[in-house]
Structure 1
Amino acid sequence: MSTAAPSLQYEVTKKMLAKRDANVEMQILSWIGQVLGEKVPTGPYEDVLSDGTLLCRVMNKLKPGSIPKINESGSTHFKLVENLSNFLRQAQKFGVEEHDLFQTTDLIDKRNIPAVTNCILAVGRAVCTERCKNVYRLVIVIFLSQCYLHPEYKGPYLGPKPAEQNIREFTDDQINASKSMATWSR
């Protein structure tokens, strides 16, 4: 029996796999197919997305003409990185926050697929506002609805509406009244 500890890479890979949700990945591929109006190629999630062509085509559907040149599958490694870079740049212009973007190596080298998933979900969130009223836990729901950042887009969207800012302002009387209330103390 070996007493050697598992390698750090093994632990990192194990942790990354635990972050993945096959159901969410399947729903993302379904959403991509609905946006494009065609069947998405079958295969592992990360392999289907790895060349960036589907992501670029989705972005062109969401924001027509945003990526004028898409390098097709089978292109050189540099061209595939260019596809992903173009998608990420346009996703940010589309309304995806910088912290929701992934690095090109996350997908090409399959280093951080959950980051890719989060980015695509952020693109879906950037599209529309409506969400399922019966959500008891975070479930990805695909609906046709009205869009909030891009009202010109009338297609399917992905995920729940992002939270909106809710600023509360109190009068001086309310603040003074709260000071006289009992507080928890130890």
Structure 2
Amino acid sequence: MSTLYGLDKEIQEKLDSKYSVAREQEAREWIESTIGEPLPSDDFHESLKDGVVLCKVIGKLVPGQGKYKESRMPFIQMENIAKFLAGAEALGVPKHNLFQTVDLYEKKNMLQVVDAIFAISRYGYKAGTCNTFLGPKLAEKNEQNFSREQLNASNAVFNTYQYGYNKGANQSGMSFGARREIAGRDPYAQYK
């Protein structure tokens, strides 16, 4: 990995400072419980870098999506990561919750990798393909169906808040465009 300078270095330092080892450990445990085997290395990045473990995860969550090749060749490892990301999208994970292949392969943004694993766990749980999830549960869609009568009744309601009328507010003594004297001092004196 090349040495970073200037703005690139500052950005990388900022990303590294936000990284949480506790969240990494949660992600590690979730992956191990999902695939039913321990990660091959104590180094989280090294365990995921070839994409094999990630493909095993996506294979459990989205049947038929977990095909991978074991190889030491970089382009095959990156291809495995790309297959994982495609499987995550097939699961319903939005693209903005995922990472780019270089984020993991070149260890550029491990924070985003861990965040993506959290998101994938939630979508897998929602789909019913895994028993646990990480982070907050996904919100359920709450559709409201109103009858034509209810919609028409809502049109008859006069919204006083948008016009500045509020029964609870005390607006006495206020007038549009008036200057206020505060304790005998003119707040606008400095501008004269």
Q: Size of the alignment, in residue pairs?
A: 158
How far off is 1:155 after superposition?
2.9
Structure 1 residue aligned with 2:82: 85
Residues 175 and 66 (structure 1 numbering): CA distance in 2 closer, same or farther, change over 3 Å? farther
Structure 1 residue aligned with 2:40: 41
Structure 1 residue aligned with 2:102: 105
State the alpha-carbon separation in 2 of the partners of residues 118 and 59 from structure 1: 16
Q: Deviations over 1:49-103 (max 9, x none)?
A: 11111110000011222133x111x431110011011000110010100111211
Structure 2 residue identity aligned to 1:58: V
Structure 2 residue aligned with 1:161: 137
Are 2:72 and 1:96 aligned? no
Unaligned runs of 5+ in 1: 1-5, 129-147
Query: What do you get for the CA RMSD once the two structures are aligned?
Result: 2.7
State the alpha-carbon separation in 2 of the partners of residues 160 and 55 from structure 1: 22
State the alpha-carbon separation in 2 of the partners of residues 154 and 43 from structure 1: 24
Structure 2 residue aligned with 1:71: 69
Larger Rg: 2
Identity %: 32
Are 2:148 and 1:124 aligned? no
TM-score (normalised: structure 1): 0.73
TM-score (normalised: structure 2): 0.71
Structure 2 residue identity aligned to 1:97: P
Unaligned runs of 5+ in 2: 177-192
Structure 1 residue aligned with 2:9: 10
Structure 2 residue aligned with 1:137: none
SS in 2 for 1:31: helix
Q: Deviations over 1:89-123 (max 9, x none)?
A: 11001010011121111111111111111211110
State the alpha-carbon separation in 2 of the partners of residues 99 and 54 from structure 1: 22
How far off is 1:18 after superposition?
1.4
